[in-house]
Amino acid sequence: MSQVDRTEDKPDRGSSPFAAWLVIAAAVSFTLWRSAKGAVADPEQFDLMTATMQGRFLIGFEALWQRSAGNTVDKKYLFRQAKQSLDHNTYAQRLRFVVLAGEFMGPAEALEQLRILDDEYRRRRGDPPPEDRETAQLLERLFILRQRDPPALDQFVERDRDELRRRLDWFGELALVPEGANEGDARARFMASALRITVAFAVVALVMFGLALGGLISFIALGVLWFLGRLKGGLGTGSARGAIYAETFALYMVSFLGLSKAGRYLLDAFEIRQGTLALSGIVASASLLALLWPVCRGIPWHLVCRDIGWTRGRGWGKDALAGIGGYALALSMLPLSLIAMTILTKLRDVLGFGPDEFGPSNAPGHPIVFAVKESAWWVWLEVLFVACIVAPVVEETMFRGVLYRHLREASSHWKPALSVAFSAVAVSFVFAIIHPQGMLAVPALMGLAFAFALVREWRVSLFPAMVSHSLNNAVTTLMLYLMLS
């Protein structure tokens, strides 16, 4: 790795990285304590949204299979997949599985699953929640009518239809348009919608798989070139300014937490209900004012920009392509991350910290999914603004810019590969652990962050890492929108 230009370099007098790390540790601990009750504010609703995505995919797969192979779809296979995916957690989620059981195996199977659910819940927890029990009774009446030959759905009154749609949303609509009933047009529209969603999802997934494969091949190739000494570039080290960036990051953590709290207080105080997500993003951007700290300590602004990667780099076009490559590299790391997440989940359950049998799953999830579900176009634009502009700029600046610079300087006397690995892993861990998805999501978030750090190291400028980060968030929110809209 090359050494930095030491022109205008000044000794880092009076900086205290140890004290800064105490502040960082306290801020991280506070963040973990604040989110200790769950990754999202309403874990049960998050589970139901996840169930909707899984149900839509299965129905879309059924429609796709019928479209391409006639009526030869293996509905027993789809039933098993539905049971594995949805027949657990809360009573409300299991009612969604009952609807899929009726779709794939018929009304008799749905009624049997209703009976099993009610018996198991009463044996373990007593009486079901009143609203869920009423929903189960609605489903029971519907499936009894669907058992008749021909189905007597016209006897299921409009008031009950509306109530079922309200209670079960997409699943309620599915239950009301069974195959073979006198609901032909409605059934066709429903299946066509599910088919479009599944095809779009499959196309995006195939593109991501291709990118992941390309990212893995590129990573191996770059590793070989680096080992042979033919890979140029790399973040220069040797500055005496490294310690000041630990203080800068600590100040960012404190200011970010404070601004977030103050912003939420002001929104509530003035009863602002529209544009809250965008306003929160703007408030979060104010945490970048922490970058003025090195300037206050006597470091010229142009040196701060150079240190943290706020530079033009090697050309916008080349760096944008490098950012796409960085996203591909991040995707190639996801399989290992998912394996690690599975191990953590199993360990959690073995140690007795898993969810209750009829409770929410507490699966990793980000609160922004509730905003993604909003149908209003301006909410969708707000989500894109925060996820694809604010988050990449702020987080890449402070994590891969400020904190990574500090750690690379602190470990600059090590072998370059060890310094890069240590710095990337440490930054990635801090980045992952403060996100609201919970501990189970740490491996996946670390995999993404590690790739962004390698892009920063390779290209020096932060712009490629911002592109990688923005692409990841854009694709994630797009897939959520496809499955929830």
Q: Is residue 369 part of a domain?
A: yes
Residue 169: name the closest of 60, 58, 48 by CA.
48
Using DSSP's 3-state secondary structure scheme, residue 120 falls into helix
Q: What is the count of structural domains for the chain?
A: 2
- 266 and 404, same structural domain? yes
pLDDT for 186 equals 86
pLDDT of residue 184: 65
The pLDDT of residue 181 is above 90: no
5 domain residue, yes or no: no
Q: Are residues 178 and 241 in the same domain?
A: no
**For residue 215, is it within any domain?**
no
210 belongs to a structural domain: no
In tens, the pLDDT along 237-260 reads 888 889 999 999 999 999 999 998
Local confidence band at 321 (pLDDT 50, 70, 90 cut-offs):
very high
In a domain, 336, yes or no: yes
Structure confidence at residue 484 (pLDDT): 78
pLDDT level of residue 409 (50, 70, 90 thresholds): very high
196, 292: one domain: no
Confidence of residue 2 (pLDDT cuts 50, 70, 90): very low
Picking from 87-96, 369-378, 386-395, which range would have the lowest pLDDT averaged per residue? 369-378
Q: Which of 151, 185, 200 lies at the terminal end of a domain, its last residue?
A: 200
Confidence of residue 5 (pLDDT cuts 50, 70, 90): very low
Burial per residue of 267-284, b for 16 or more beta-carbon CB atoms within 10 angstroms, e otherwise: beeeeeeeebbbbbbebb
Q: Are residues 69 and 195 in the same domain?
A: yes
Residue 3, helix vs strand vs coil: strand
User: What pLDDT, on a 0 to 100 scale, did the predictor assign at position 69?
Assistant: 61
Contact 88, 354 (CB under 8 A): no
Q: What is the mean pLDDT of residues 164-175?
A: 94
Residue 206, domain member (yes or no): no
Position 146 in a domain: yes
- Domain hosting residue 384, numbered range: 17-34+233-484
Q: In this structure, are 300 and 347 located in the same domain?
A: yes
292 and 416 in a common domain: yes
Residue 232 banded pLDDT, cuts 50, 70, 90: low
Cα separation, 270 vs 250, in Å, equals: 30
A 10 A CB-CB count for 367 gives 14
Percentage of the chain beyond pLDDT 90 is 56
pLDDT surpassing 50 at residue 203: yes
- What is the Cα–Cα distance from 250 to 25, expressed in whole angstroms? 9
Q: For residue 6, is it within any domain? A: no
> Is 390 in contact with 280 (CB distance < 8 Å)?
no
257 & 362 share domain? yes
Q: pLDDT at residue 444 above 90? A: yes
* Average confidence (pLDDT) over 18-47: 81
Question: Does residue 41 surpass a pLDDT of 70?
Answer: no
d(CA 71, CA 65): 8
pLDDT band, very low/low/confident/very high, at 3 (cuts 50, 70, 90): very low
Are 187 and 241 in a shared domain?
no
At residue 7, does pLDDT exceed 60? no
Q: How far apart are the first and last CA of the chain?
A: 48
* Same domain as 392, residue 264: yes
Please name the amino acid found at residue 398.
Answer: M
| 126 plus 24 within the same structural domain | no
Q: Does 105 have pLDDT greater than 50?
A: yes
pLDDT in the model for residue 37 = 53
Statement to judge: residues 290 and 430 lie in one domain? yes
pLDDT in tens, 352-373: 888 888 998 878 777 777 777 7
* Cα–Cα dist 65/74, whole Å: 9
Do 294 and 170 belong together in one domain?
no
Mean pLDDT of the chain: 88
Q: Enumerate the H helices of 333-459 as residue ranges.
A: 334-350, 368-372, 377-385, 391-395, 404-410, 416-433, 442-459
